[in-house]
Amino acid sequence: MVKGNQSFVFESKPVIISSATVGGPLEAEGPLSEDIDILHDDPYIGQDSFEKAEKLMLEQAATKALEKAGVSKYDVGIFISGDLINQIISSSFAARTIGIPYLGIYGACSSSMEGLTIAASFVDGQKVKYVLTGACSHNNCAEKQYRYPNEYGAQKPPTSQWTVTGAGACLLASEGKGPKVTAATVGRIVDMGLTDPFNMGAAMAPAAVDTIEAHLRDLGIEPDYYDIIVTGDLGAVGHKIALDKFKEDGINIDEKKFMDCGMMIYDREKQPQVFAGGSGCASSAVTVYGHLLKKMREGHIKKMLAVATGALHSPLSYQQKESIPCIAHAVAIEM
Amino acid sequence: MVKGNQSFVFESKPVIISSATVGGPLEAEGPLSEDIDILHDDPYIGQDSFEKAEKLMLEQAATKALEKAGVSKYDVGIFISGDLINQIISSSFAARTIGIPYLGIYGACSSSMEGLTIAASFVDGQKVKYVLTGACSHNNCAEKQYRYPNEYGAQKPPTSQWTVTGAGACLLASEGKGPKVTAATVGRIVDMGLTDPFNMGAAMAPAAVDTIEAHLRDLGIEPDYYDIIVTGDLGAVGHKIALDKFKEDGINIDEKKFMDCGMMIYDREKQPQVFAGGSGCASSAVTVYGHLLKKMREGHIKKMLAVATGALHSPLSYQQKESIPCIAHAVAIEM
C-alpha cells in the first residue's frame, strides 16, 4: 500500500526465513566476526583474481542462506543482487553459477536494501514464493577501481573509509518463521556538490537523513518506533553529520539507537587502517544480514530500520568533474 | 500470480499510459525515425562529453513521457532505469535531475524489460500509483568502453553490431488507457562459452530462446498466442541462430512474427556501418517504447512478447578470459 510520497507497506509481511554472510581477513578480526558464517584469511580465497574472490563470496553467502532454510535453488523464483564492480560482474557471474532467474541491480552501497525492497515487492505481490537477494564487495577490487590499487600504498586522509570484503544474502518467503519486512522507503538522489572520493560518508549523510525523514513522515511515526535505526556505511564522519542534521531538522533521534554498519563491523582503535569505518555493499549486507538479524531472532531487537546508503558516482564522472549523487533506501524489519 | 518456474502474471494489468523515445543521428536516418519523439543530429547533443549526451537523452525521454501523460513527476513513486556505462551513471545522474525516488538496475541490453518487470510488480502490488522506467545507450560511449573508441577507426567483423544512440521511457499506472503489462518471465543466465565481444548476437541468442521457451511453457501457450515476439538486439546473426534453435527444439514460431529490434531500427542496406544490426539498451527501449507501442495503440498489434537480451560481461571479465554470461527478460504486453 502507498504511504506518502516515497514509502509503502508490505501487507503480507514477507519473511526473511534465512540469511548468511561471508567475510575476509579484516572482518574476521573485527567485532562482528562471530556472526559471520564463513570467514576467509586469504583475500584471494584461492582464486586468481580479487574479482573472482568477490564472486565466490557471494556464491557462498547465497548457497549458505539456501542451505540454512533447507530450500532448493530450483524453488527460488528470483535472485536479485548488486555490487560495485563495473557491470556488476560479481553478481552476474554468481548468478550464472547459482542458476536462479536473475535481476541485476546497481545502487552502489545501497544495493542490499534496494535488493530487499524489490524482493519484498515480488513476494508481497505473490509473484514468486521465494526470492534470494544479496550484495557483495571486496576491498582490493573497489580500491583499485575507485581510488588506487592497494599495492601502490597511497596515503589516505582520516575521512576515508575501508571497503568491506564480504557478502551477505537473505532468503525471503511469503510465509515462515523469522524477521518480517514490513515497509520500505525508496530514496531520492541527494547531491550536495561534494566531489571527494575519500570522503564518501559526508557525501552520503544528507541522503540518509532525507530518506529516514521521508520514512518517518510517510508512515506517521516517530524515531523511537524503532529499537534501532542503522545506516549502511556513513562511517564516523558521515554519522556525525547525519546526527547534526537531525538536530537541525528537529528530529529527535536517540543517539544510542542511531548506529552505522561501517562503524560496527570494525574496531577503529584496533584496526586503524579503516580510518572512518567500513564502506561498500558488504558493509550493510554483512552487518544487517548477519549480526543484526541474529539479534532480532534472539529477541534483542524487535523493530529495525535498515538504511543502506550509496554514492552513485563513477571514476569517469569524477574525472569529468561531476559531484557525487547519493541515495539511501530504508527497509523496516520487525519480529 | 506464480506461473511455472520463471513466470508470473500481473492480475491488475498495469497500464503503459505513455511512452517516449529519443534518437541520435543514425537513428534519425533509420526506418523507425518517424516514431521517435526527439531526434538529434549531433552525437554530443551540445554537451561536452558523450556520457552527458546519453544522460540528457534519458532525461528527455523521461520528461516527454510524463508530459504526454500529463502526470507531474511529484506524483510518480519510483523511477527505474539502467544503462551500459560503468556504475550506470547516465541513469543515476538523470535520476538526480528528475528527482523521483530511484532504483538503478543493471541488465546490460536487457535493462528495458528488467525495468518494466520490476515496475509492473510495484504497480500491480499497489505499492505506488505511477512508476516511470527507462533505459538508454550511446554508440560512442559503449564502443569506447567495451571495444575501441570510434575515433581509432578499428575495423569490425560482419558479426558486430552497432550500439543504438537513444533512450526510451514509459510510464506505468494502476489504471488508464493504453497497452497493458500482463505477464513477465525473468531470465536465467545462459552461457554457451562464447568470448567474442564482436559477436554478441550469437552469445545472446540461446538466452533469448531459453526465456521464450520458459515463458510459453510456464503460461501454457503456443507462440501464435502473440502477434509478434520481438527480441531486443540479437541482430541478423543471433536472430538466425535463435530461429534454428526453435526449429531444433520443435517450437513452431512463424518467422514473420519473430522479429528483432536491432534489425528493425536500421536499414542494413542503406546503413551498412551497423553490420548485423543495432544493439545496446536503447535498441529495445526505442523500438518497443516508440514504434511497437504505437502500433499497439493504433490497433495493428494486439499481443506482443517483448524479450530484451543482455550480455552481462565487462571489459575486465573479458580480459580475465571469462566467457559471456547472457540473459533475456520477457514481458507480455496486450491491448
Q: Are the beta carbons of A121 and B127 separated by less than 8 Å?
A: yes
Give the model's confidence band at A130: pLDDT under 50 very low, under 70 low, under 90 confident, else very high: very high
* pLDDT value at residue B53: 98
Give mean pLDDT, residues A59-84. Answer: 98
Residue B325 is which amino acid? P
- Average pLDDT taken over every residue of chain A: 97
Beta bridge partners of A69: none
Q: What percent of chain B has pLDDT over 70?
A: 100
Whole-number Cα distances in Å, B248 to A214, B118, B220, B242, B245 = 54, 32, 20, 10, 5
List, in sequence order, every residue forming a beta bridge with A334; answer none if it has no partner: A180, A303
Q: State residue B334 phi and psi, 5-degree precision.
A: -135, 145
Instruction: Provide mean pLDDT across the span B152-163.
Output: 93
Which pLDDT score is estimated for A250? 97
Report residue A121 as a C-alpha cell. 515487492
Do A59 and A94 touch, CB atoms closer than 8 A? yes
pLDDT in tens, A282-313: 999 999 999 999 999 999 999 999 999 999 99
**What CATH architecture does domain A180-334 belong to?**
3-Layer(aba) Sandwich (3.40)
Per-residue confidence (pLDDT) for residue A273, from 0 to 100: 95
User: Among B124, B189, B329, whose Cβ lies nearest the Cβ of A92?
Assistant: B189
In the DSSP assignment, the letter for residue B180 is: E
Asked if B5 has any chain A CB less than 8 Å from its own CB, the reply is yes
Return the number of other C-beta atoms located less than 10 Å from residue A42's C-beta. 10
Confidence of residue B5 (pLDDT cuts 50, 70, 90): confident
Q: Which residues of A touch B74 (CB under 8 A)?
A: 5
Over its C-alpha atoms, chain B yields an Rg (Å, rounded) of 18
Q: How far apart are CA B277 and CA B237, in angstroms?
A: 9
Judged by CB atoms closer than 8 Å, whether chains meet at A127 and B114 is answered as no
A76, A79, A281, A312, best to mutate vs chain B, most B CBs in 10 Å:
A312
Residue B12 has pLDDT above 90, yes or no: yes
| Average pLDDT of span A59-63 | 98
Kindly determine whether residue A105 and residue B103, on different chains, have CB atoms separated by under 8 Å: yes
- Kindly state the percentage of chain A with pLDDT values over 70: 100
Distance, in Å, from the CA atom of B104 to the CA atom of B81, rounded to the nearest integer, reads 5
- Alpha helices, DSSP H only, in chain A? 25-28, 50-69, 89-98, 111-124, 139-146, 200-219, 235-248, 261-264, 281-286, 293-297, 315-319
Instruction: Write down the H helix ranges in chain B.
Output: 25-28, 50-69, 89-98, 111-124, 139-146, 200-219, 235-248, 261-264, 281-286, 293-297, 315-319
H helices of A99-190, in order, are 111-124, 139-146
Do residues A197 and A235 touch, judged by C-beta distance below 8 A?
no
HSE at residue B16, side-chain half, CA atoms within 13 A, is 29
B229 touches A at CB < 8 Å: no
B-facing residues of A in 74-103 (CB < 8 A) are 74, 77-78, 82, 84-89, 92-93, 95-96, 99-103
User: Could you give the CA distance from residue A126 to residue B312 in angstroms, rounded to a whole number?
Assistant: 28
Contacts of A105 in chain B (CB under 8 A): 103-106
Pairing relation of β-strands B38-39 and B15-23? parallel
Cross-chain Cβ contact A87/B124 below 8 Å: no
User: Which residues in chain A (286-325) have CB-CB distances under 8 A to chain B?
Assistant: 312-317, 320, 322, 325
Question: Which regions of chain B carry the CATH code 3.40.47.40?
Answer: 14-173, 180-334
B111-124 and A111-124 are packed helices; what angle lies between their axes, rounded to 10 degrees? Answer: 60
Does ipTM exceed 0.90? yes
Q: Are the C-beta atoms of residues A62 and A94 closer than 8 Å to each other?
A: yes
Pairwise CA distance, residues B276 & B280, whole Å: 13
Q: Does the beta carbon of A116 lie under 8 angstroms from any beta carbon of chain B?
A: no
pLDDT value for A186: 98
Rounded to whole angstroms, how far apart are CA atoms B22 and B24? 7
Local structure of A141: helix, strand or coil: helix
Burial annotation A247-279 (CB, 10 A radius, 16+ → b, else e): eeeebebeeebbbbbbbbbbebeebeebbbbbb
Helix (H, G, I), strand (E, B) or coil at B170: strand
**Rounded to 10 degrees, what is the CA torsion of A55, A77, B86, B271?**
130
Give how far Cα B232 sits from Cα of A127, A168, A207, B140, B274, Å. 24, 32, 35, 19, 15
Cα–chain center distance at A61: 14
State the pLDDT at residue B4.
Answer: 87
Chain A residues within 8 A of B89 when measuring between CB atoms: 312-314, 316-317, 322
Nearest C-alpha of chain A: how many angstroms from B79? 9
C-alpha cell at B216: 510459453
Q: Within a 10 A sphere around the Cβ of A316, how many other Cβ atoms?
A: 16
Q: Spell out the residues 6+ positions from residue B158 whose beta carbon is closer than 8 angstroms to its own.
A: B275, B276
Question: Do B125 and A129 lie within an 8 Å CB cutoff?
Answer: no
A80 vs B2, higher pLDDT: A80
In CATH, what number does A2-173 get? 3.40.47.40
Which residue in the block uniquely carries the three cell numbers 551498412? B272
Assess A118–B contact: CB distance below 8 Å, yes or no: yes
HSE of A190, CA atoms in CB hemisphere, 13 A: 20
| Each residue's pLDDT tens digit, A210-230 | 999 999 999 999 999 999 999
Which of A315, A314, A293, A323 shows the shortest CA–CA distance to A106? Answer: A314
Predicted local confidence at residue A189, as pLDDT: 98
Report the gap between the CA of A26 and the closest CA in chain B (Å).
Answer: 26
Outline which parts of chain A fall under CATH 3.40.47.40: 2-173, 180-334
Contact A316 B187 (CB under 8 A): no
- Mutation site, A74, A80, A92, interface B, largest B CB count within 10 A: A92
**pLDDT score for B234:** 98
Quick check: B327 and A102 CB within 8 A?
yes
Measured CA to CA, the distance from residue A171 to residue B167 in angstroms comes to 34
The third-level CATH classification (topology) of the domain covering B14-173 is Peroxisomal Thiolase; Chain A, domain 1 (3.40.47)
Is B1–A126 a contact, with Cβ atoms under 8 angstroms apart?
yes
Which chain A residue's Cα is nearest to B74?
A5
Report the pLDDT value the prediction gives residue B317, as an integer from 0 to 100: 94
pLDDT digits (tens, 9 = 90+) for B255-279: 999 999 999 999 999 999 999 999 9
- Selecting from A51, A127, A325 the residue whose C-beta is nearest the C-beta of B121 gives A127
Is B118 in contact with A121 (Cβ distance < 8 A)? yes
Contact A127 B8 (CB under 8 A): yes
Roughly how many angstroms between the first and final C-alpha of chain A, as a whole number?
Answer: 20
Residue A128's Cβ-side half-sphere holds a number of Cα atoms within 13 Å equal to 31
- Residue A196: Cβ within 10 Å count: 14
Residue A4 has pLDDT above 90, yes or no: no
Nearest CB to B189 within list A87, A95, A126: A95
Spatial separation of the C-alpha atoms in residues A142 and A120, rounded to whole Å:
28
Distances B326 to B80, B210, B314 between C-alpha atoms, Å: 21, 11, 12
Contacts of B142 in chain A (CB under 8 A): none
CB atoms within 10 A of CB A152: 10
**Is A187 in Cβ contact with B87 (below 8 Å)?**
no
DSSP B291: I
Selected for mutation to probe chain A from B105, B126, B147 (highest A CB count within 10 Å) is B105
Bridge partners of residue B80, in order along the sequence: B103, B133
Provide mean pLDDT across the span B300-321: 96
CA B69 to each of CA A4, B23, B170, B239, B329: distance values in angstroms, whole numbers, following the listed order: 22, 20, 10, 35, 26
pLDDT tens for each residue of B245-254: 999 999 999 9
Q: What is the largest CA-CA distance in chain A?
A: 52
Count of CB pairs separated by less than 8 Å, A with B: 186
> Looking at residue A190, what DSSP letter applies?
B
Q: How many helices (H) and strands (E) does chain B have?
A: 11, 15
Q: How far is A28 from chain B (nearest CA, A)?
A: 28
Backbone dihedral region for residue A275 (phi beyond 0: left; psi -120 to 50: alpha; all else: beta): left
